[in-house]
Chains A and B, each alone.
Chain A
Amino acid sequence: MKFVINIFKILFNERSSIRFLIGILLGVSFSISIILATIGIMDGYKSSLYKFIYNSEGHYIIKSKRGFFQTPKFEDNKKYYILPLIESKGMAITERNSVGILINGVDQKEYKKIFNRDLTLKDNSIVIGIELAKKLHKKIGDEILLSFLSHNQSMEAPLVSSFIITNIIDFGFFTKNMRLVLVNKEMLSSYTSKENFVNKILVKFKKIVDQSSVNKIEQQLDYSFTIESTLKNFEYLIKAVKAEKVMIVIVLQLIVIISVFNLYTFINFIKEKKLQEFFLLKSLGVRQSQFRTFLILLVSFVWASSCLVSIGFVEFYKYALMNFDFLKLPGDIYHFSRLMLNLNLSDYISVFSISLFWILFMIGFSVRKFTSISIGQGLKGELK
Chain B
Amino acid sequence: MRNCIEIKGVSKTFNKVSVLNNINLNIKIGEQAVLMGRSGSGKSTLMYIIGGLESADNGSIIYGNDDILKFSDAKMSEFRNRSIGFVFQFHYLLSSLNCIENILLPARIGGHKIGEVKKRVLNYAEDLDVANLLKKFPHELSGGEQQRMNILRAISLRPKLILCDEPTGNLDSNNSNKVIDLLKRLASESNSSLLVVTHDNEVSDSFSNHYNIVDGRIS
Name A residues whose Cβ lies closer than 8 Å to a Cβ of B.
6, 9-11, 13-14, 276-277, 280-289, 374-377, 379
Contact = CB atoms under 8 A, between A and B. Distances in A.
A283 B153 CA distance: 12
B109 A10 contact: no
Interface centre among B55, B74, B96, B97, by most A CB within 10 Å? B96
Nearest to A3: B109
A10 B92 CA distance: 13
Interface stretch (B31-39, B78-86, B139-147): B78-86
A285 B80 contact: yes
A379 to B, nearest CB: 7
B112 to A, nearest CB: 10
Given A280-B94, A376-B54, A289 B74 contact: yes
B92 A379 contact: yes
A284 B81 contact: yes
Contacts of A9: 96
A374 B53 contact: yes
Interface string B174-213: 0000000000000000000000000000000000000000
Contacts of A289: 73-74
Given A284-B81, A284-B109, A277 B94 contact: yes
B49 to A, nearest CB: 8
A289 B72 CA distance: 11
B169 interface: no
A14 B97 CA distance: 11
Given A374-B53, A376-B54, A379-B88, A6 B74 contact: no
Given A282-B77, A285-B80, A285-B110, 5 more contacts: A13-B95, A281-B109, A285-B77, A285-B109, A375-B52
B124 interface: no
Interface in B37-51: 45, 48, 51
A283 B53 contact: yes
B197 to A, nearest CB: 13
B74 A287 contact: yes
Interface string B74-116: 1001101110001010001011110000000110111000000
A286 B88 contact: no
17 contacts: A276-B92, A277-B94, A280-B94, A281-B109, A284-B80, A284-B106, A284-B153, A285-B77, A285-B78, A285-B82, A286-B77, A287-B74, A287-B77, A376-B53, A377-B54, A379-B88, A379-B92
A87 to B, nearest CB: 77
Contact of B53 (A13, A14, A286, A375): A375
Contacts of B153: 284
A280 B53 CA distance: 10
A261 B51 CA distance: 37
A13 B94 CA distance: 10
B88 A10 contact: no
A9 B78 CA distance: 22
A293 to B, nearest CB: 12
Contacts of B106: 284-285
Contacts of B54: 374-377
Contact of A287 (B45, B73, B92, B97): B73
Nearest to B93: A280
A86 B138 CA distance: 90
Contact of B105 (A284, A288, A379): A284
Contacts of B109: 281, 284-286
A374 B52 CA distance: 9
Contact of A374 (B55, B77, B86, B110): B55
B44 to A, nearest CB: 8
A59 B51 CA distance: 78
A383 B16 CA distance: 18
Contact of B92 (A11, A280, A285, A374): A280
3 closest residue pairs by CB, A with B: A285-B81, A13-B96, A375-B53
Contacts of A6: 108
A286 B108 CA distance: 10
Contact of A379 (B52, B53, B82, B95): B53
Contacts of B95: 13
B73 A10 contact: no
A18 to B, nearest CB: 12
Contacts of A280: 92, 94
A149 to B, nearest CB: 84
Contacts of A288: 73, 77
Contacts of A285: 77-78, 80-82, 106, 109-110
A281 B106 CA distance: 8
B70 to A, nearest CB: 16
A14 B86 CA distance: 26
A280 B91 CA distance: 10
A287 B110 CA distance: 10
